[in-house]
Each structure stands twice: as C-alpha cells, then as structure tokens.
Amino acid sequence: MDLLRTRFVEAMTAWNWSRRTIVSYEQNVRYFVDWLEKETEIADMAQVNAETICSYQTALLAEEKKTGELLTVATQHHRLVALRGFFAYLWREGKLLVNPAAQVSLPKMRRRLPQAVVTPKEALRLLDSIDTRTPLGLRDRAMLELLYATGMRNAELRGLTLADVGDATLTIRQGKGGKDRVVPMGPIAWAVLRDYLQKARPKIASRDGVTNIFLTKNGKPLDCFAVINAVRRAAKGARITKEIHPHSLRHACATHMLKGGADIRHIQKLLGHASLQTTQIYTLVEIGDLKAVHRMYHPRERRRRA
C-alpha cells in the first residue's frame, strides 16, 4: 500500500500539480490506509470494493478531531476527493480491474457567504496605521498595499521574488492550481513597494541567495503567520474590531472593484480564479445596499414616505 501511495505522489508531481495539493492528497490517502489497517482485515488495495468505501465514508461522519469536534463537511469532502483521485489513478494504471470509488457520492458543501468585508475607509485606516519609519514597518506597509491592490493570496505574496517585479506589475508564479499570472499594482502600491525595495529590504537582506521580496528581520523568507500577524497588528493600530486577516484584503479588493464598476471577468483574472463561479460570490449584494433598495422600492415603505 505504501508503494502505491508513493507512485501516486510521483504521478501527481509529473502532472505538475501544486505542492500543496500533492501533500493534501497524499495525507488524505494515508488517513484511508490507516483506517483500513485499524478497522478491516484488508491488506491489499485490490480487496477494496465499493462497500469498503461506503463504510469509510460512514466512519468519517463519526470521526473526531483532536479537539473532540466532529470532522467538518469540508474535511470529509477533501478526504473523499483525494480517495477518488487515488483509485482512479490505480484503475487507469491497471493496478485494479475495477475502480471501487467511481460511484462515491461526495457530501454536499454549503456555499458560504463572504466574511464581513473590510470597507474602503477601513482599508485606508488599516494601511495608514502602519509606522513606516522602520524597515519592518515599511515591509508591512508594502505587504498590505499589495494584498489590497492585487487581491493576491498569502502564499502568493510570500512566494514573490525580485525577478517577479515588473514596471508596476507583478508576476505571480505557481498560484493556486499551479498557474502563473501577471497583475497590476497601481501607482500607490508600486511606489510603496519601490520604497521598501530601495530603503528597507537591503537592511534586512543579510543572507546571500535569498531572492524573496519579503523577509524576516533575520533575512529569511516569511512564513504564513508573519503575514497574518502583520495584518493583525495593523488592524489593532487602526482600532478595527472586526476580525481581519490577509484573505480579508483579497475579499476587499474584489468587492470594492466590483462595486466601483469593474467587470467580473477582469476580477476573475486578477484573483486567479479558474472558474467564473468562484468569482461570482463577490457579486452578492451587501445587506446595506439591500436595505436601501428595500426602503426605496418596497410598496409598504413607499406608502409610509408618501
């Protein structure tokens, strides 16, 4: 079983899947193998049938996390998607005569509304609250400016290198889905980034060969928590009480541009969404707008104003 899992990882690597996806699939397949060893007498993947998969899916409903909470529907969904991909691979490669996971029904995931969106005024307060008199302060300002200006993800920001900087553009390499894209920064974000690159980065780039744009105070590439903490510090400085994290600025970028009249297909390209359906969630009308429309057009409200 371990050999088959290793071959699957090698295949995903050959297919040029992103490292994050490969790790997730490999881990979720390992969960299934662990379950087989603990709960069944199956010692070979050829013995797995549709009933086995069904039993595993049922077991996921009762599985608990370390916190004692049950697995979320999203986690169950990810486990089964990986399993379906694994068995499809084994069947295509002739390792199995039948694909036991071919008919697995994935749990339906509810479509969640975007989190409370940062308003344009809050976004400006967030950016202006950062003290840029220090190299790390200028770094944080540049990071948040880019997050808001381009809508890029945390991992995409951390993956930027000096070679990715163009004339007021950035090349985002190996984004979600392993795709590259070029995004504009806008004159303000571009000016702040130039200041950081010229005045601050040379003071913290103490390690030779590190080409990442954004670095720690010791000259090392940032981890995901460094960006999260930078956003939290700025939110605290701006006295914004709602929970804000890097993805909040991605939401804000998309929502504010759409509200300003930008075409949704342009937003799709900016955010790097493979499907327009993913972008369309940002077109949901905000409750404030809905209230105003309700007051203006509902016959009961119109009668009250008359």
Q: Are residues 41 and 178 in the same domain?
A: no
The residue out of 92, 109, 138 marking a domain boundary is 92
**Residue 262 maps to a domain:** yes
Residue 303 belongs to a domain: no
Say if residue 215 is in the same domain as residue 252: yes
On whether both 157 and 23 belong to a single domain, the answer is no
- pLDDT score at 84: 94
Cβ-contact 251, 114 below 8 angstroms: yes
Q: What is the pLDDT of residue 13?
A: 92
* Identity of the residue numbered 126: L
Is-contact 186 151, C-beta < 8 A? no
pTM above 0.75, yes or no: no
- The answer on 82 and 15 residing in a single domain is yes
Q: Is residue 102 part of a domain?
A: no
Look at residues 50, 45, 56, 54 and name the one whose alpha carbon lies nearest to residue 94. Answer: 45
pLDDT at res. 177: 62
Residues 50 and 137 in one domain: no
Answer yes or no: is 284 within a domain. Answer: yes
Does residue 297 lie in a domain region?
no
CATH number at residue 70: 1.10.150
Nearest Cα residue to 253 out of 279, 229, 232? 279
Amino acid at 305: R
Residues ≥6 apart with Cβ < 8 Å to 194 = none
- Is the domain of 127 the same as that of 66? no
pLDDT digit string (tens) for 72-112?
898 999 999 999 999 999 999 999 999 999 988 888 876 66
Number of domains in the chain: 2
187: domain range?
120-289
Structure tokens at 37: 């060893």
Nearest CA to 115 out of 17, 15, 246, 209 is that of: 246
Same structural domain, 159 and 275: yes
CB atoms within 10 A of CB 156: 23
Q: Does any domain span residue 208? A: yes
Active site residues: 153, 176, 247, 250, 273, 282
CATH number at 174 reads: 1.10.443.10
Q: What is the pLDDT of residue 261?
A: 85
Tell me: do 141 and 267 sit in the same domain.
Answer: yes
302 in a structural domain: no
Overall size of the chain counted in residues? 306
DSSP letters for 252-288 = HHHHHHHHTT--HHHHHHHHT-SSHHHHHGGGSPPHH
According to the model, what pLDDT value does residue 303 have? 57
> What residues of the chain score a pLDDT lower than 70?
110-116, 175-178, 207, 282-294, 297-306
Question: Domain check: are 47 and 130 in the same one?
Answer: no
200, 269: one domain: yes
**What pLDDT does 297 receive?**
67
Asked, for residue 264, whether it belongs to a domain, the answer is yes
Per-residue pLDDT at 158: 93
185 and 273 both lie in a single domain = yes
Instruction: Judge if 129 and 75 occupy the same domain.
Output: no
Which residues does 93 contact at the CB level (< 8 Å), separation at least 6?
7, 11
